[in-house]
Amino acid sequence: MQTLPHERLYAFSGGLLGPSAQARRIRRILALSGHHLRFGWPETGECVAVWGHAKRAARGEWVSARSGAGLIRLEDAFLRSLFPGRGGEPTIGLLLDRGGIHYDPSQPSDLEILLATDPLDDPALLARAQLGIARMRALRLTKYAAFAPDILPPAPGYVLVIDQTRGDASLRHGGLAGPLPADIFQTMLAAACAEFPDSQIIIRTHPETNAGHRAGHYSAADAKAGRIALLRDPVSSWDLLTGAVAVYTVCSQLGFEAILAGHRPRVFGLPFYAGWGLSVDETPHPRRGRSLSTQQLFAAAMLRYPLWYDPCRDQLCSFEQALDYLEAHSRAWREDRKGYVALNMRLWKRAHLQGFFGRWQKLRFRRQPSPDRPNLVWGAAPAPQGAIRVEDGFLRSHGLGAQLTPPISLIRDDLGIYFDPGTPSRLEALIAAPLPPGGEARADALIATIRAQGLSKYNLPGALPVLPDGHRILVPGQVEDDASIRLGAGVIATNLALLAETRAQNPDAIILYKPHPDVEAGLRPGAIAPDLALRYANQIIHRTDAAALLEVVQEVWTITSTIGFEALLRGVPVTTFGAPFYAGWGLTRDLGQIPARRSARPSLGALAHAVLIAYPRYLDPITGLPCPPEVALERLAQGATPHKPSLRALAKLQGLFASYAYLWR
């Protein structure tokens, strides 16, 4: 991320000073970097800011020339948002260029100077670049990150020709001395047809053309007898690049992504990525002769050149943090874009369900399933065929769900549900799958934060009591009618039986019994009379912070409690009598019946990645945005989480209004 000296910037267009979400975002990013936009006459040594080569940029250019002030051109970074800016969504990255701008090769831009002169040989920087490329590819993220995962690209073996929008600044200023030739797109298409006479030609249209905002250069008239086809569907660019045998572009950013995907694209213009030995260039650039690696190109364009912004934290951030945010944001859009019908949901749950799953399409609450859209059901409730099950996540809140405390995380399972070992679940599939690039390190960092901040599922307060010395075994009580007990327990299915068996197998240990918070609060069944519990336990631990307790015990024995997973995160050995989601993977001592399909042997980091990163969805309680788990941890550590309504009637009223949110959304 580039750093700039603090200075005043002057602007002369509504696109920068106006009320739109994009203008507000631009001003915020500039302010966080120490630059405050204002209207007025600049002095020599100050700067005027303009947006690229937009029509209104001429005003700022004139003021700059007349006043002697410098000129800074602003543009979106190469990872922007789900959709193009005309859709109203603001950018997460900003380019500030004092030399020119990346798409104008007539004069050196700051990016070109970086690529031409910076050594770009720092091993740590190149490692970040390598991982960044791999993550973008695995997540299938590009400048506009919305794609439909259920729409597949054509059969592999085609030639990919990339269209752009008419009149785009990259075309008007894409030549060494002015605009690119008007017929350059037809020249490119003719070259692709001549050089690959036996291959299908796929023309990828621009997202803004598909949305009807701006015209492209190709139309249905260019499709000829199946040899040439226009592709308007929202297919992932990475999937499209994977199936291509060659890529042709004028100056589209998709040419840059083609390089990241391992192609050597044929380039007919002079985009920032041409001239460095990574493309076949129709027009040589007189200033560019250096040979760069793909990692060096990425390091300059994605790590050094832009200013990245985290909308949840409202601060400048690294490329990696911006990618984390876009990953969460795009995942929510992909999963929710068709809308849902939520079946038989309790009134108090509806508001936060609307927040999690109703951002792009209205969430309707019904008693009967919908035949034409996905159906959501809560937990293990009866469900129609193909329903998606929803439950609380494993880092949930400050407070109990039984006390109406809204969650900061929910899981969405299209295969089963994690606490039912009788059927496969999406969580099982994620645990058994290979880790994505950087997944282990990210999970390890998350585990370290959880331990350092003393976080758990409910984060309930409670001082740690004086404990007896010796080998301490924690036995967490559970809600005895909970679905995880009904579906995941074996012979031992009650808290008393668990205590008795733990004592029988550990006659000399110090056994600490911690009743479940819902049971202690009198909200759910599972209570044991104290005198009966103390026949087997040395001490009953009431209303104590589970995270603090796990730091002072040597083992955990449980049926299916989530505390067993939290113990694993802290390196505490766990014995299970049931089949909780974390059992059967070689990380626990299992005395219950474990499904044979759990044959993978993931590391603790891989398990944590599946359970805490890949499986749940998180909603930032401050901004209301989908967020990565790192932001959720910060909110939990700061106590900035949703609070339960003071009255159950208020919760019901809130849920009732959420049912009709489609009327004002």
* Nearest Cα to Cα of residue 243 among 169, 173, 154: 154
d(CA 597, CA 584): 9
d(CA 6, CA 3): 9
pLDDT at 5 over 60: no
Asked if 626 and 645 touch (Cβ cutoff 8 Å), the reply is no
Lowest mean pLDDT among 49-63, 201-215, 320-334: 201-215
Look up tokens 């670049």; give the residue. 129
* Nearest Cα to Cα of residue 595 among 369, 408, 418, 347: 418
Look up tokens 């589209």; give the residue. 252
pLDDT of residue 212: 82
List 590's β-bridge partners, or say none.
576
pLDDT of residue 543: 87
* 251 or 226, higher pLDDT: 251
Asked if 496 and 528 touch (Cβ cutoff 8 Å), the reply is yes
Convert the pLDDT of each residue in 636-654 to its tens digit. Answer: 999 866 655 544 444 444 4
Asked if 247 and 261 touch (Cβ cutoff 8 Å), the reply is no
pTM to 2 decimals? 0.92
Q: What percent of the chain has pLDDT over 70?
A: 94
* 221 or 118, higher pLDDT: 118
Q: What percent of the chain has pLDDT over 90?
A: 82
Helix/strand/coil (H/E/C) assignment for every residue in 8-43: EEECCCHHHHCCCHHHHHHHHHHHHCCEEEECCCCC
d(CA 51, CA 18): 13
pLDDT of residue 217: 94
* Nearest Cα to Cα of residue 493 among 558, 423, 425: 558
d(CA 375, CA 148): 19
**Per-residue confidence band for 45, with pLDDT thresholds at 50, 70 and 90:** confident
Helix/strand/coil (H/E/C) assignment for every residue in 144-196: ECCCCCCCCCCCCCEEEEECCECCCHHHHCCECCECCCCCHHHHHHHHHHHHC
CA of 59: how far to CAs of 18, 69, 172, 474, in Å? Answer: 15, 13, 18, 71
pLDDT at 366 over 90: yes
Convert the pLDDT of each residue in 262-304 to its tens digit. Answer: 999 999 999 999 999 999 999 999 999 999 999 999 999 999 9
d(CA 395, CA 616): 9
CA of 532: how far to CAs of 495, 507, 510, 544, in Å? Answer: 11, 17, 16, 20
d(CA 133, CA 119): 20
pLDDT at 658 over 80: no
What is the average per-residue pLDDT within 551-571?
Answer: 97
DSSP summary character for residue 216 = B
pLDDT of residue 404: 74
* Nearest Cα to Cα of residue 208 among 88, 358, 357: 88
CA angle centred on 592, ends 586 and 593, rounded to 5°:
85
pLDDT at 403 over 70: no
Asked if 321 and 134 touch (Cβ cutoff 8 Å), the reply is no
d(CA 271, CA 174): 7
**216's tokens:** 């492209």
pLDDT of residue 488: 96
Asked if 267 and 253 touch (Cβ cutoff 8 Å), the reply is no
Pairing of strands 307-310, 340-343: unpaired
pLDDT at 458 over 90: no
pLDDT at 216 over 70: yes
pLDDT of residue 661: 40
Lowest mean pLDDT among 82-96, 190-204, 542-556: 82-96
What is the average per-residue pLDDT within 484-511?
Answer: 97
pLDDT at 660 over 80: no
pLDDT of residue 225: 63
Phi, psi at 501, each rounded to 5°? -70, -35
pLDDT of residue 656: 47
Convert the pLDDT of each residue in 133-186 to its tens digit. Answer: 999 999 999 999 998 888 889 999 999 999 999 999 999 999 998 999 999 999
pLDDT of residue 34: 93
H or E stretch at 648: helix 648-659
DSSP 3-state of 47:
strand
DSSP summary character for residue 663 = G
Mean pLDDT across the chain: 92
DSSP summary character for residue 133 = H
pLDDT of residue 503: 98
- Calculate helix-pair angle for 319-336, 629-638, nearest 10 degrees: 100
**Per-residue confidence band for 459, with pLDDT thresholds at 50, 70 and 90:** confident
Pairing of strands 307-310, 93-97: antiparallel
